[in-house]
Structure 1
């Protein structure tokens, strides 16, 4: 690789295309949650359906990222081709829910398949960004994870603004968006100058990346963050319905979008702050603030006037540290195994979300919501303690 190729600035279209494609692909994530009332009616599901649908996607994603990491697919194949294939197949799996809406098992299976294919979208998108941006990786991934946050929140907005539309239309719109994102990524984003090629299959690759002390510190900080993040996202509609019971369904969906989408502000803003303060400090501060929100939820969830602004702030900081953890992970990983490192850390992180979501679902059956969410503070506490080696350095 020539020095000129390394330092040449990326074309202006690269980052916006990666960001839009990531947003489009990850909108598949919570598509099932956005049409949950209709699925509940069709399948005669109980209130536990929210946890089941979310956990099905998470389980599929965990299995997918494990397989991708084990075979080092993101480091052995063209990342943009992998992204395209997974976006197309994920869109198809999401659309097929239309034909399985009378079978609980069918819907859960398709949501799990969608999660499996998201393993070729989210971490692979970060690998593509890392192949184009090096010194400003925290800023670039800030935009990228911000797109993930918006993609996660988008089905709620679509549902809120088009509540009168058939739920089938919502699912098809999300699938079409994912297809467009995959095609644009493949056509407009060639392999970047920092892409390392030629990695061979080695079953030990996914464990080898943990040998570096800085990598372990970043990874365990991320694991603590993940205990909190997706559980909060999954239960945002429940929290809003509990604290503001008079809200109509369409307004509840719009408010859910606002809370989750606020995380994009934390991601992008944190990306810019990382250029001055460093990714480690930015991640530490945001994780600390989200942990404090966990503790304050005992009180604020009982005050309707403060509920929405509190949840929006919590939404900002609960997601804002995620891109900086990814940037720290990518920088600390062996250059030829960046894709594998990002994928295996993501896999473990999302495995943690399964336990957290199911644990929260159990807690909500025995204690009031305002008291249950304080238990999310365990994750930020573990993550903060793990990050001290990075701060000292």
Structure 2
């Protein structure tokens, strides 16, 4: 069994990533049923999403400060995080009616995700270093599908208790943890046995090219998770205009978010001939243009708007694996895990104000909140432009 898994390490890692990251938006996927049953406002969805993001940031900072990602096997950290994440996600079933405990459990879920996503990136680099951009594209594609998966599970279980898809995410995370534990660590990265101080994780920021790439990633992050949080609301608006019921929302939300996996994989394929930076630039240009244009086009027929949502979902995540590949190329070799964790921590920190702003203003601004996402791609492109001037 173990030998079979090690013969196909990339499929194993990306499948485990898909299963593990289904925890990320597990509450968002069941929100309509959960809110209807417990009478929760839309602002509560924003709070719970922020809790996960906050936990992820705290977890990535913990990894960067302690150097855990470079001191211990990535597969073991991933497995422990997946198991604990499955347990705390399942615990939300008991705490859903108690906002404080629910917030704490979602924060804990974010902490666990910090041991899944960055460590998954390190495992991909350790097992398949030759085509990091293409390999990471598959990994982030699975993160995207994992994010969308709760919406699919909710759509497939309409009429059933909302607890079922939530617990299903926990089962998937447990399976993902087991797969990674059996696979083990790859052979292509040096192992560190001593402490890795935070300054080592941040050392890459002294490299001009890494700093410029990180700036592009930060702009991308400002847009990404806020848009993913808004997708059910944007989808619901267009479905309502078509006269369709709310039961179609999870299906459309899954499709719009999930198509981003194709954007990642297609971008990874293009990166082998065009380069990671070329893919990242074009993805930022397309998604940034939609941030600016979507509100002005909101009076078009709903079918057109749904089509634009698919283009947005495809482009908004396509640059993410390319930023990770570019960062891995320039980070100090002995502290890749800590460098990526530090970059993730800052990037996910920027998702907090973006999510808070857009969800808070949705009820009064509607689709015009998309304009608040535009600074991310604009600043990201400006930062990437600095890499050209240095080459």
Give yes or no for the alignment of 1:94 onto 2:89: yes
Give yes or no for the alignment of 1:298 onto 2:304: no
| Displacement after TM superposition at 1:206 (Å) | 2.8
Partner in structure 2 of residue 276 of structure 1:
273
- Output one character per residue of 1:16-65: Cα deviation in whole Å (capped at 9) or x when no partner: 00000000000000001111133324543212122111111001111111
When residues 150 and 299 of structure 1 are mapped into structure 2, their CA distance, relative to the original with a 3 A threshold, is same
- Output one character per residue of 1:238-281: Cα deviation in whole Å (capped at 9) or x when no partner: 11112221332331100000000011111111111111111111
When residues 46 and 78 of structure 1 are mapped into structure 2, their CA distance, relative to the original with a 3 A threshold, is same
Report the Cα distance in structure 1 between the residues aligned to 2:330 and 2:213, rounded to whole angstroms: 8
* Equivalent residue runs for 1:206-285 within 5 Å: 206-245=201-240, 246-285=243-282
Partner in structure 2 of residue 155 of structure 1:
150
- Please list every run of 5 or more consecutive structure 2 residues that lacks an aligned counterpart in the other structure: none
Q: Say whether the 8 Å CA contact 1:15–1:129 is kept in structure 2.
A: yes
Partner in structure 1 of residue 20 of structure 2:
25
* Equivalent residue runs for 1:133-172 within 5 Å: 133-172=128-167
Give yes or no for the alignment of 1:338 onto 2:336: yes
Report the Cα distance in structure 2 between the residues aligned to 1:378 and 1:32, rounded to whole angstroms: 28
Q: Say whether the 8 Å CA contact 1:18–1:189 is kept in structure 2.
A: no
When residues 49 and 302 of structure 1 are mapped into structure 2, their CA distance, relative to the original with a 3 A threshold, is farther
* Equivalent residue runs for 1:1-393 within 5 Å: 12-245=7-240, 246-303=243-300, 304-367=302-365, 369-392=366-389, 393=391
Aligned pair count reads 383
Query: Which is worse superposed, 199-208 or 324-333?
Result: 199-208
Secondary structure at the aligned position of 2:196 is classed as: coil
- Output one character per residue of 1:55-92: Cα deviation in whole Å (capped at 9) or x when no partner: 11001111111111111111111100000000000000
- Please list every run of 5 or more consecutive structure 1 residues that lacks an aligned counterpart in the other structure: 1-9
CA-atom RMSD in angstroms: 1.5
Secondary structure at the aligned position of 1:27 is classed as: helix
Report the Cα distance in structure 1 between the residues aligned to 2:341 and 2:136, rounded to whole angstroms: 15
Secondary structure at the aligned position of 1:197 is classed as: coil
Secondary structure at the aligned position of 1:93 is classed as: helix
Q: Say whether the 8 Å CA contact 1:61–1:117 is kept in structure 2.
A: yes
| Displacement after TM superposition at 1:161 (Å) | 1.5
